[in-house]
Amino acid sequence: MLHRRYYLYPVMRVLFIFFLAVLATSCEKEVDIEPNSSPEVLVVDGSIENGSPAVVYLTRSFSYFSNLSAAAVGNSFVKDATVSLSDGTRTSVLRPYEISSGATTLVVYTADTSNPAAIMLGRFGAGYSLSISWQGKTYQSTTTIPNAARRIDSLWWLPSPGNADTSLVMLMARANDPKGLGNYIRYFTSRNDSAFLPGLNSVFDDNIVDGTTYQVQIFRGEDRNGEINNDTFGYFRRGDSVVVKIANIDKAAYDFWRTWEQAQSNVGNPFGTPVRVLGNISNGALGVFCGYGNQVSRLFIPK
């Protein structure tokens, strides 16, 4: 769940070199800093969507200066926890499954398919409690699946302005926000049946658009493990089949993803302000358990 990306835009690269040059010429004393080694903690990446079972990934944290590899990531997954989900009436124990992904084996806790009667699917307007027992400690979290209050009315596309590549297009949406503050969303896009990816800035409140119908460009979701192509960033292409998922989320989920994205954008930025990521897991664990109330919209962009 935790990734580090050392990508700097060309202008930022120049500023970074300038910053280092200033330091090199202005410092007269060499200072050696020995970073502290952070204790290992549990990291939780959990979610439940309307119509789907809960999905929970558990890993051990890495120290910031750890050497990452496929083997190290695979070994960080927790396989021996007891994970249960409750909707206030029923409690279901989630089962761990191992999934091969290239050179790495992932472990995901989700519904036990061998016991269909115990499978719990997410419902609009419902609240859920997650409990994790591991190595003598118990971690808890709660979330809700809000009703799909903020919705997309329609999707359309426009040519990308001033772009020499005429196959690139902008995806536009007309959306509604109901009256009353506190309607938070996170969005994802899928292109040509690929996996859903969140936008680089994927979460929004309704402080500006409260109670209005508004138009907005929807930027293509990005794989945060790769570098960003500035020439194609945010655009789709003619011939694409696009699916947009708007997920209504509660305040705790919004705060987590808002601060997480701010912290990630500061990686490698010498002028970035440190950000404390606001998780919703108890007992010192990192991460989030997030409920998604989804609306899905589709558009085919002709060639």
pLDDT tens digits for 155-180? 999 999 988 899 999 999 999 999 99
pTM: 0.84
Residue extent(s) of CATH 2.60.40 domains in the chain: 151-249+294-300
Look at the domain 151-249+294-300 and name its fold. Answer: Immunoglobulin-like (2.60.40)
pLDDT for 268 equals 63
The values of phi and psi at residue 236, to 5°, are: -110, 180
Q: How far is CA 20 from the centre of its chain?
A: 32
Average pLDDT over residues 208-228: 94
Please provide residue 226's backbone torsions phi and psi, each rounded to the nearest 5 degrees: -115, 170
Lowest-confidence pick of 64-73, 242-251, 286-295? 64-73
pLDDT at 150: 97
Is the backbone of residue 284 left (phi > 0), alpha (psi -120 to 50) or beta?
A: left
Task: Tell me which of 17-26, 52-61, 203-212 is least confident.
Answer: 17-26
pLDDT digits (tens, 9 = 90+) for 257-282: 999 999 988 876 767 778 899 999 99
pLDDT reported for residue 38 = 72
Instruction: Provide the pLDDT for residue 5.
Output: 35
pLDDT value, residue 303: 93
Note the pLDDT tens digit of each residue in 220-239.
999 988 888 989 999 999 99
Percent residues over pLDDT 70 in the chain: 87
User: Per-residue confidence at 35, pLDDT binned at 50, 70, 90?
Assistant: low
